[in-house]
Structure 1
Amino acid sequence: MEKSATKLLVVDDDPALRQLLADYLNKQGYDTLLAPDATDLEARITRYSPALLVLDRMLPGGDGAEACRRLRERGEDLPVILLTARDETVDRIIGLESGADDYLGKPFDPRELLARIEAVLRRKSGPSALVKDAPVSFGPFTFDTKARTLHRGSEPVRLTGGEFNLLEALLRNAGKPLSRERLLALARDDEAGERNDRAIDIAILRLRRAIEDDPKQPRWIQTVWGIGYRFAPLAGDDTAQDPPAQP
């Protein structure tokens, strides 16, 4: 899925929160559209064709859960994440019964919202076409997301679950710089427990040791300074090469 073309519609009556989420999600590569209420919500959806709707439960002049219910009744299957200042079980049930795909109580960390957005989009759209139906080859390697294997020629390359997820995320977004936060969201390994930026760096180092001829001068997994990492599969693509290793 091309994240540069992925639109999100955020509907919330708090202007500070709307702007915070727009700034954060745009930094992660999304195109974030904003609205203060659910007025003409269907018209906005038709006009902008967002991939996902982030919808506040308590809106001036209306209820987000009810707006979600009306969308579902009219056949709209747009993924919806409800936000609310209430975090009680009954409110979660009401939100999910309205047809929402997920539910997040306020206050929340924007990174958690990002992780939930990524998870909902993965469930809705399935694997990227890049790695959906057939193994992907780069250099001497064959990456098979269906079999969850990586081979160098005929020899298997052993990866942990988290490393496999990370390589898949990089391949799906080949050529695009991805921040560490974005990689954390894309490559979540539920069995690995909590991850952080340092864990991403360590996993990148291990992947480089597994697939690079010279991990200190990586060909495939390149550092993009000030942002994060990218996978560069195209021959002659040397625009983000790492600097010489420090002694």
Structure 2
Amino acid sequence: MKLVSGAFLSVSLLAGFLAAASAHADDAASNAPAAAPACEVPDYFLSGDVALPKVAEAVKAGGPLNILVVGSRSSAINAGAPEAAAYPGQMLTALKEKLPAIEVNLSVEIQAKKTAEEVAPGLAKLVESKKPTLVIWQTGTVDAVRAVDPDDFRNAVDAGVVALREAGVDAVLVNPQYSPRTESMISPSAYLDNMRVVAQEQEVPLFDRFALMQKWSEDGAFDLFAPVHGAELAKQVHGCLGRALSQFIIASAHPKPAQEN
């Protein structure tokens, strides 16, 4: 029990550093896209094998493209920090740059400390309220920390994806962050594998945040082993994730410029 509690504290700190550290950064600097030239995204992360037809339709029609991010603390913006500081805001900035003729809107729904089973039943109601074109569902970390039965986790993610499809929206799954400092306390592999299974069976795109951050860490782009993560690192990781996610959405939607319609 002490091990799980310690893991929860460590993962909570990791999940919070990307959002919390940004609150201490200079607002003017945070409003600009974070500079992280070393965080290349290999093509195999952006294959776009599974389509986002609703996103493609919205782009073809000239918008609007409404995106709802359902996530945990790592997708939050702390009080006093600009929206552009966290990865959803960075994603929004990048999408607006890539689709200048399209109105792109973003809303973020924080489901702190909730498992997939606790979040899934409310997804349809969120869609009804927010009316998104695309729902980006970030999940898995809390389940891993709480050692939720992997089969129960898979069933919950599957039910959530089905609910989103029945609500008439596109969905993208986002798996947990990579943290080399917490892997000795919790094992995310079963949850990562089950998210891949659901993504394949339900034919929804999976943005592999874990593998991408692991690659950046192994390549030396970011020192994720450091016991203290500062505001500048938070900005860089958020910026890289946001831009990579925007590329992933574009690749999955396969949108064409308006003049080609």
Q: Larger relative contact order (C-alpha < 8 A, sep ≥ 6)?
A: 2
**TM-score, structure 2 as length reference:** 0.33
Q: If the length of structure 1 is used for normalisation, what is the TM-score?
A: 0.35
Higher helix share: 2
Higher strand share: 1
Could you say which structure has the larger radius of gyration? 1
